[in-house]
Amino acid sequence: MNKRKLSFDKKTALTSLAYPLFSLALILALWAATAAYVGSDLLLPSIGETFSQAGVLLSEKKTYVDIAATLLRAIRGFVISFAVALGLAVASAFFKTLAKILSPIIAVMRSTPTMSVILLCLLWTTTQTTPVLVTVLIIFPLLYTSFYTAVTGVDKKLVDMAKVYKVPFVTRLMKLYIPSALPEVFSAVRSTLSLTVKLTIAAEVLAQTRNSIGVDMQIANLYLETPTLIAWTIIAIVLGALLELAVFGLGKLCMRWKNA
């Protein structure tokens, strides 16, 4: 039985790995074919030229300083958004009046164009603060909606039963609400992390934030260094993927705790 299960798990893991690898190979093939057809590094550099430039970037100390600075801004904005969204979502789930007050505010925040938010933040704050504030204003309503749905989606029968048997609130929170909401919470976090990185970089470009991936991208664009621009783009994509992978691993650990 264990051998069959182990064999099944291996096949599942291999299948799960095969699809992303196939997608990556397809993207690289299309890139190579398009670059060969265009025949201009200014419009679309070859794969070799791009990764060669990426190697040059990764050999420079400044690259890691800029990556760390952008990552720190993204994480700072995300943590603030997460904390405020989670706190208000839990409070709104138990106090319906608060939920009704926040509902139109969240709707307005979700509907406001991202570019408008960035430009307004440039007027209100410094170039170093703008990327963080932009992240908070865009990510907060997305997380709040997901968290509120997760908390209010807990099985009503279990909630009513816990109330009938007068289960302490802390026990209900630890044994009922948190385990039930965890999958939705981690799903929301994973889906917004890459967006957080993209928002931070976009804000850095417009704000001219010192020591940032955004400014490095803008400089590459200004001097028509397309291989460098795409190399920075790949670095940003990898950065977002690594953050999502870290959350995925943390989610697996928490699911084990939930089922323990």
Q: Give the pLDDT of residue 260.
A: 54
Kindly calculate the radius of gyration of the chain based on its CA atoms and give it in whole angstroms: 23
User: Does residue 251 register a pLDDT over 90?
Assistant: no
pLDDT tens digits for range 83-101:
999 999 989 988 889 999 9
Whose CA is closest to 158, among 178, 174, 172? 172
Q: Give the pLDDT of residue 255.
A: 65
Per-residue confidence band for 8, with pLDDT thresholds at 50, 70 and 90: very low
Whose CA is closest to 175, among 147, 155, 145, 146? 155
pTM of the model: 0.85
Q: Nearest-5° angle of CA 195, CA 220, CA 235?
A: 40
Whose CA is closest to 232, among 67, 68, 106? 67
pLDDT tens digits for range 193-241:
889 999 999 999 999 999 999 999 999 999 999 999 999 999 999 999 8
pLDDT tens digits for range 33-62:
999 999 888 889 999 999 999 999 999 999
Q: Which residue has the tokens 């260094």?
A: 225
* Mean pLDDT, residues 123-151 taken together: 92
* Mean pLDDT, residues 141-146 taken together: 94
Spatial distance between the Cα atoms of 169 and 28, rounded to a whole number of angstroms: 53
Domains of the chain: 61-259 (1.10.3720.10)
